[in-house]
Structure 1
Amino acid sequence: MPPRLQPVDPVYLKGLRAHVREELRRAIIAGELPSGAVLNERQMAEQLGVSTTPLKEALRQLEAEGLVVAEPRRGIRVTFDAEQAEEMALARAALESMIARMAASRIDDEGVARLAAIVSKMAEATAASATDDLIKLNELFHDAIHEISRCSYLQRILVGQRVYVHTARQFILSDAEERGRALREHCTIYEALARRDSDAAEREMRDHVVRSARQHVKAAFENRGQPQTAPQAVRATKEHNS
């Protein structure tokens, strides 16, 4: 079954390259473009409603992110899979949990109030099924903890994962049950930070990141089962070249 790549809306023309890159990244991380698929650039450009120029540029950037690889005489192959997703999540869990630990030891009353306000808005967004707002608040919550921790070095290491994390959040928070679980976990993290409990903050953050990542892997890869052949729109280019 072909992946559901969305045609480019005219409003995005100014940022065409970025939009194409984001749509392809979303399809890869959501498991719609499976690991091992060799992408047919012409067909994908037609689906997206763009020329091959912004598509090629987007694919070069995705290669730099480790999601695809260019192979001589074969084309662009998707390399992102469940194993890579889990590996990235474990690395993020180690960093985020240490940041949470440091934040618990450095947070002041103003920081507690700041996180409380974000969690309150997250509860409202969850109740309203406002997924886009919830994604923004989710990122705001983690960014606030980063700032409170003052762990600038650890934050710099995490920068390379921000794009992946944002896209994975878009995918898993589209599920109502997952939104509820995420809210409960963020509340638990907040409570540990408000108590200045470093051990609990570290543990709850690690458990949250690992669990949500495993949910992403399960939904994007295991439940779907990665097809043995690429979808029609990304059929192996050897067929095109034969």
Structure 2
Amino acid sequence: MGGDDALLPVEPVFLKSLRDHVYGLVRDAILAGRLKGGEKLNERHLASQLGISTTPLKEALRVLEAEGLVRSEPRRGIYITFNAGQAEEMMLARAALESMIARQAAKRVKDEDMAMMRELIVEMRAGLETVDVLQLIALNERFHNAIHEASGCGYLRRLQGGQNIYTHAARLSVLSEERERFLAVEEHEAIANAIAAREPDLAERLMRDHVIRSGEKHLLRV
């Protein structure tokens, strides 16, 4: 069983949609590697950590099982099925999709798209000084979304949406390190410059390298 600090208690502001917030907390703990693959979950212990009853936890675990992150075994309990191998596959899938989207963005980008990317990079650099990790994650996600929007890709964006449950947790894990925060901004600026220069081959390569490098950093923690 994971350590007592594997999960944080649910804050009162989240009680309106308790199951969804419990689902998010447990999911992020699994994807970030704080709850390990193959581990048996003690529902009462987890509910106690979260400060809730077992009912919303059981509901959240059913959703996680449908997503393939946990497995329920009759008379034995619930086990985490997410592991480093699955995390690597998700990272590689994301790298393939994001790099193709960046390639298309370099072909189709408009001036207003570039203005948004530049503005977000300025905000990310300012965020490096405040060390607000959650704000940097939000800016990071907005930057990638700006590239998605510039690409004009519908089908690829829908496929990429399936990676979001992993992507957020990976960013939370990686961007918690100061060096990674600075490196991520530098890589984002290089990607933006390639898109602005309408260089699809370069944009594709830089995005793939960015996703794989940060993903491999996260894999060390899963």
What band does the TM-score fall into relative to the shorter chain? over 0.9
1:195-234 maps to which residues of 2 (within 5 A)? Answer: 195-218=197-220, 220-221=221-222
**How far has the Cα of 1:168 moved from its partner?**
1.4
- Report the residue type matching 1:119 in the other structure: I
Q: Deviations over 1:89-111 (max 9, x none)?
A: 10110011000000000012221
Say if 2:28 is the partner of 1:31.
no
The equivalent residue for 2:46 is 44
- Report the residue type matching 1:177 in the other structure: R
TM-score, structure 2 normalization: 0.95
TM-score, structure 1 normalization: 0.88
**How far has the Cα of 1:193 moved from its partner?**
0.6
Counterpart selection for 2:84 from 82, 85, 88:
82
The equivalent residue for 1:231 is none
- Report the residue type matching 1:126 in the other structure: L
Higher RCO (C-alpha under 8 Å, 6+ residues apart)? 1
Classify 1:3/1:210 alpha carbon distance in 2 versus 1 (closer, same or farther; 3 Å).
Answer: farther
- Report the residue type matching 2:84 in the other structure: A
The equivalent residue for 2:171 is 169
**How far has the Cα of 1:26 moved from its partner?**
1.8
- Report the residue type matching 2:123 in the other structure: K
- Report the residue type matching 2:187 in the other structure: E
Distance, in Å, in 1 between the alignment partners of 2:85 and 2:200 is 30
Instruction: Determine helix, strand or coil for the equivalent of 1:69.
Output: strand
The equivalent residue for 1:236 is none
Unaligned runs of 5+ in 1: 222-242
Say if 2:99 is the partner of 1:97.
yes
% identical equivalent positions: 55
**How far has the Cα of 1:3 moved from its partner?**
4.1
The equivalent residue for 1:138 is 140
Q: Deviations over 1:38-90 (max 9, x none)?
A: 11111211121111110011111111222111122211110111111111010
Unaligned runs of 5+ in 2: none
The equivalent residue for 1:125 is 127
Contact 2:37-2:81 at 8 Å conserved across structures: yes
Contact 2:4-2:49 at 8 Å conserved across structures: no
Instruction: Determine helix, strand or coil for the equivalent of 1:70.
Output: strand
- Report the residue type matching 1:51 in the other structure: S
Contact 1:6-1:48 at 8 Å conserved across structures: yes
Distance, in Å, in 1 between the alignment partners of 2:166 and 2:148 is 18
The equivalent residue for 2:108 is 106
Instruction: Determine helix, strand or coil for the equivalent of 1:33.
Output: coil
Contact 1:85-1:217 at 8 Å conserved across structures: yes
Counterpart selection for 1:188 from 177, 187, 190:
190
Q: How many residues align?
A: 220
CA RMSD of aligned residues (A): 1.2
Contact 2:90-2:166 at 8 Å conserved across structures: no
Instruction: Determine helix, strand or coil for the equivalent of 2:163.
Output: helix
The equivalent residue for 2:3 is 2
The equivalent residue for 1:159 is 161
